[in-house]
Amino acid sequence: GWKMEDVMDEEIKVINNMVGPDDHVICALSGGVDSTVAATLVHKAIGDRLHCVFVDNGLLRYKERERVMETFERDLHLPVTCVDVTEQFLSKLKGVVDPELKRKIIGKEFICNNLGKKPVFFVQGTLYPDVIESCPPPGTGRTHSHTIKSHHNVGGLPKDMKLKLIEPLKLLFKDEVLQLGRILTVPYSFLKRHPFPGPGLAVRVLGDVTEDNALDTLRQVDEIFIQLIKDAGIYDSIWQAFAVFLPVKSVGVQGDQRTHSHVVALRAVTKGLITRSYGSHDWLYLKQFKLEILGRRLLVFYSIDSNMYYFEREFLDDVVQKICNNVRGVNRVALDITSKPPSTIEWE
Ligand code: XMP
């Protein structure tokens, strides 16, 4: 097996051989585990010649920017600048309702915003499965035209890019990144956070994200839901939990008043079950299962299916009451009970 301390030392050596003493390195932090661990590792190797950028694209969760900046600065001492491009992003997304088009626009904006400075190297938190996923196995006849959704943070860098890539996690699986994160003293609460999609709340506001105060409403609903999940001590038993804003209004009665307000949906799923080998599934939904035999890594392909997480009745009552009493413009809460497949985890 691999010892994570050795992997770390080896990676630091590789980075130091690659990056000259006067070279500068840029890293776009997403707030996720992978880019954070990658940046922390590179920082350990080259110190403040690393320049991190955190982009607030206006599609982040409630107080996400403040929360992650605090972790970066206070806990990890990373040199990080926060760039607010909310207006630029939202103006590009105005009027766009097609889910794939939304994803494509976000991918394009993301790249333009993070490059264009002078550094020689660019850090990416690419994992081993990302490397495999972005090149379908030979003989399957599968290409990217088969994708159900385009994941913007896989590949996607312009071909004429002058920066050289540093991908220190390229040989690691997710569980190994978590181990490495622990060695690098990334806070445990940060490492345990539910995954959050690159396109952010844009895929959780159905339709035009700029309409009806949707992003703000969604942030409030999501925060109440997640906070109650944490209070109930079930956060770690859930793979992913979030709210979805629907561009639909329904009739309700609040106080003595008839209301015509928005409907939100809640979704919580359990960690995927490895179910069947590929053949019937889209390539993007095939995951790799690691096997190590005599120190060599083999890959076995499976699809990962998720089920809904079953909440207690009292918990749900509490959530609904809190949402309807505290979030203006919402008078109905629906619970998504669908598994994956046939649904995907995200609604768009
Ligand atoms: P789906 O919705 O495809 O989601 O069942 C599977 C997992 O991937 C996440 N997801 C994304 N992550 N960029 C990401 O970084 C994306 O474009 C993206 N789309 C979905 C989703 O949250 C879930 O964990």
Write down the H helix ranges in 213-343: 214-231, 313-326
Max distance between CA atoms of the chain, in angstroms, equals 71
Q: Strand ranges (DSSP E) for 221-285? A: 240-254, 257-269, 273-274
**Which sequence spans correspond to the domains of the chain?**
4-191, 204-271+306-335, 274-305
What's the gap in Å between 306 CA and the centre of ligand 1? 13
Q: Please say if the pLDDT value at position 339 is more than 70.
A: yes
Q: What is the pLDDT of residue 74?
A: 97
Positive/negative CA dihedral, 139, 144, 150, 156: positive
- pLDDT tens digits, residue range 148-204? 454 444 344 555 557 889 999 998 888 899 999 999 999 999 999 999 998 999 999
- pLDDT tens digits, residue range 202-243? 999 999 999 999 999 999 999 999 999 999 999 999 999 999
Looking up tokens 């030392």, which residue turns up? Answer: 9
Q: Which residue is closest in CA terms to ligand 1's atom 22?
A: 197
Distance in angstroms (rounded) separating the CA atoms of residues 3 and 148 = 37
Amino acid at 45: A
Q: Please say if the pLDDT value at position 14 is more than 80.
A: yes
Q: What is the pLDDT of residue 1?
A: 61
Two domains, one topology: 4-191 and 204-271+306-335? no
Q: In what order do the strands lie in the sheet with 240-254?
A: 240-254, 257-269, 330-335
Q: What is the pLDDT of residue 280?
A: 47
Q: What is the pLDDT of residue 153?
A: 44
- Encode burial over 286-299: b for 16+ CB neighbours within 10 A, e otherwise: bbbeeeeeeeeeee
Q: What is the DSSP letter of 302?
A: E
Share of the chain above pLDDT 90, in %: 68
Q: Please say if the pLDDT value at position 68 is more than 60.
A: yes
Contacts of 216 (CB under 8 A, 6+ apart): none
Whole-number mean pLDDT of the chain?
86
Domain 204-271+306-335 has CATH 3.30.70.920: no
Q: Hey, is 281 helix, strand or coil?
A: coil
Q: Which residues are annotated as a binding site?
A: 30-36
Give ligand 1 pocket residues (Cβ under 6 A). 149, 151-153, 195, 197-199, 240, 340, 344-346
Summarize the chain as % helix, strand, coil (round to 5). 40, 25, 40
Q: What is the pLDDT of residue 341?
A: 83
Distance in angstroms (rounded) separating the CA atoms of residues 210 and 59 = 10
Long-range contacts of 147-151 (CB under 8 A, 24+ apart): 147/282, 147/283, 147/284, 148/282, 148/284, 148/285, 148/344, 149/99, 149/100, 149/103, 149/284, 149/344, 149/346, 149/348, 150/100, 150/103, 150/104, 150/107, 151/198, 151/284
CATH of the domain spanning 4-191: 3.40.50.620
Q: Which residues are annotated as a binding site for ATP?
A: 30-36
- pLDDT tens digits, residue range 273-304? 765 544 444 554 555 555 666 666 666 666 67
Pocket probe mutation, ligand 1, options 35, 193, 345, max atoms within 8 Å of Cβ: 345
What's the gap in Å between 6 CA and the centre of ligand 1? 31
Q: What is the pLDDT of residue 171?
A: 87
Q: What is the pLDDT of residue 115?
A: 44
Q: What is the DSSP letter of 279?
A: S
Amino acid at 79: P
Q: What is the pLDDT of residue 128?
A: 79
More confident site: 130 or 235: 235
Query: Of 193, 128, 192, which Cα lies nearest the Cα of 154?
Result: 128
More confident site: 141 or 348: 348
Minimum-distance ligand 1 atom for the alpha carbon of 195:
24
